[in-house]
Structure 1
């Protein structure tokens, strides 16, 4: 989720190609089923992302080393219910729960091996179903759960130990995609990822989403901002894929955006066929495009989803392919390169003629953290900046709520003034 923040204010030396303004397509395809507006969607979203990759929010790191399964399970479950109790007390009504942090699952999947986040070993059954447990406990407290998927990431590193562990899954059922479809795997951003240009890989991702939607009473599905992810020193090598599938495209960039578009269309259609009431959303980088490269873009300077992740997020909203969009606007009002108010208002204009709801992702992780470039996060414990952001969100009718990144920052000493403020503002 931090790719946007990391890239945005990185050097803009490699200028993205200037393109024509994306033409405005019809707001929605009349043949596509539009989800009914349920009563709960009138409530403002007060959400939080709950991360499992690298056990950043859950499960507790210490729990993984407990040799007694019953004790480990008990500790993991209690940690989660304690978190949900706190979220309820703060007035949080939706949790975005990371069920696919990489090429593994936090439910008993027939497609993906069990996540090593639960036990320390890929493929090892944790002895319970974390997704079902989360759904039961959250719903009991009146909190909705959106299953959050990282679509293309297979691992968070390329270390020999990681490769050895993936290779060991060959004898398991299901085995890792790393050993079953080695031809789909690329290295990018110093991690193993699926090549988004391979149609079978997109079908495979869609089948994973379908498995969750069909089997579990999730309230929604969310993809994060990791579509194409590259770093300057670790670029995705998809030249051969482009030669195979890129006929008819003027540039590799256009072809890549087409691939991301196809995934979004396919997943949206699949969810609506299975359960029309389940919401589908994406949480992209906060900047779609900069106005310097596209007249339709925002008055910002920095990494843009269209050019960096090959994700034409504005187009998905215009075409009615998302029930909601949650751009990560992780900067304060005073950050000239990407002002919070400039971006929030830009997105409000994008969703205005559509049925797509707009939630704003805000940077709880920056609250109370000293920063030379963004000192506002430490003034008054971060409360004045947080208040300004929430006030703006509530003042614009197109903004339907706010999501905090991420859950464990609610428990850190530097955020406590802000957490107390949230409790007064949102709490019961």
Structure 2
């Protein structure tokens, strides 16, 4: 997601209709969804709140939920994979409960699809230099050109090219896919991703020299060759993760919600058009976060030029409708963005974030 603070973090939930009922392949069904998070929202903090949120989403015309499962260096569900790595079973706010299991049960009972959203991706902490991850796995940490810990907008990052965090995140994703009846999994602007300022740790230096023996290691983090090389490695990881999920459960949707392109590649090494064209993205949900209609229309039209006609049914714009700081888009703006999506050939969208439904009670599609 966009790099807002913990208190303004975006909540994503996305819903889609049953492929059996609709007679369509899962990856061609238009989604109308929202992100659900544990920050600036109470949806996941009790079963009663979860049940109410599911009812609200259905009444609003939504069909899919993207539910946070990995935030601030902790899983919200009880994770044996996490416990094996740092000795902690789950996020302390959720001990004794399994909010993922609860929202899957409530969502499916209401006919909604539920996707596990690995929000933090390769970021292991937010404004916290005492993280258990940093203490136990210092070799995983990303480094900038000054040799400092890789940090951007308060988020501390692993080296996303390192096999350690790659293996951990893949194990985490597969743990969810194998043990929960999720309809899909999602990475966003942190999975697969890393700030372009990274890549100056010893592991990445050695890897670059090994793969480019005739080239000097770049002095600048945003050297064009270096950017593309790092992006290619992240794309390769995304492809491996996609294949691993499909091997575990062929029907599990794999979606990515990156930033807009080419900013996504220039700043976070996300070359998502390559993911789409390469066949390792069931859905792409680009974050078209804009506060007014002219700005939204401009970025939407730009997005349309980046997508081949044959792949349009895999792309659904992400809309900014509310924030934890109190921002709320008005009804006219939201309906106008939906209208523009249809006029430009996009059949669905995902709203950022769920609290919109607590602030504006209406059916988005009537």
Q: TM-score, normalised by structure 2?
A: 0.79
CA shift for structure 1 position 353: 2.8
Match of residue 165 from structure 2: 201
CA shift for structure 1 position 359: 1.0
Tell me: CA distance 1:131–1:273, structure 2 relative to 1, closer, same or farther (3 Å): same
CA shift for structure 1 position 88: 1.2
Moved over 6 A (4+): 366-370
Does the 8 Å CA contact 2:68/2:117 hold for their aligned counterparts? yes
Mapped to 2, the partners of 1:134 and 1:351 lie a distance apart of 35
Tell me: CA distance 1:355–1:210, structure 2 relative to 1, closer, same or farther (3 Å): farther
Match of residue 420 from structure 1: 362
Does the 8 Å CA contact 2:123/2:157 hold for their aligned counterparts? yes
Mapped to 2, the partners of 1:421 and 1:138 lie a distance apart of 18
Unmatched 5+ residue regions in structure 2?
Answer: 5-22, 83-87, 143-148, 216-224
Does the 8 Å CA contact 2:258/2:285 hold for their aligned counterparts? yes
Among residues 147, 154, 160, which one is paired with 2:124 in the alignment?
154
Mapped to 2, the partners of 1:106 and 1:369 lie a distance apart of 24
Unmatched 5+ residue regions in structure 1?
Answer: 5-36, 61-74, 120-125, 168-176, 290-303, 371-376
Among residues 133, 136, 147, which one is paired with 2:105 in the alignment?
136
Mapped to 2, the partners of 1:155 and 1:366 lie a distance apart of 21
Match of residue 339 from structure 2: 391
Mapped to 1, the partners of 2:362 and 2:324 lie a distance apart of 13
The 3-state SS of whatever aligns with 1:253 is: helix
Larger Rg: 1
Match of residue 48 from structure 1: 34
CA shift for structure 1 position 217: 1.1
Mapped to 2, the partners of 1:216 and 1:270 lie a distance apart of 16
Match of residue 277 from structure 1: 251
Match of residue 68 from structure 1: none
Match of residue 241 from structure 2: 267
Match of residue 353 from structure 1: 310
Q: TM-score, normalised by structure 1?
A: 0.68
Match of residue 278 from structure 2: 319
CA shift for structure 1 position 238: 2.8
Match of residue 232 from structure 2: 258
Say what the alpha-carbon RMSD is for the aligned residues.
2.9
Mapped to 2, the partners of 1:351 and 1:101 lie a distance apart of 34
Mapped to 2, the partners of 1:136 and 1:230 lie a distance apart of 36
CA shift for structure 1 position 270: 0.3
Tell me which moved more, 194-203 or 250-259. Answer: 250-259
Among residues 231, 245, 267, which one is paired with 2:207 in the alignment?
245
Mapped to 2, the partners of 1:151 and 1:42 lie a distance apart of 26
Mapped to 2, the partners of 1:366 and 1:182 lie a distance apart of 33
CA shift for structure 1 position 351: 4.2
Does the 8 Å CA contact 1:106/1:129 hold for their aligned counterparts? yes
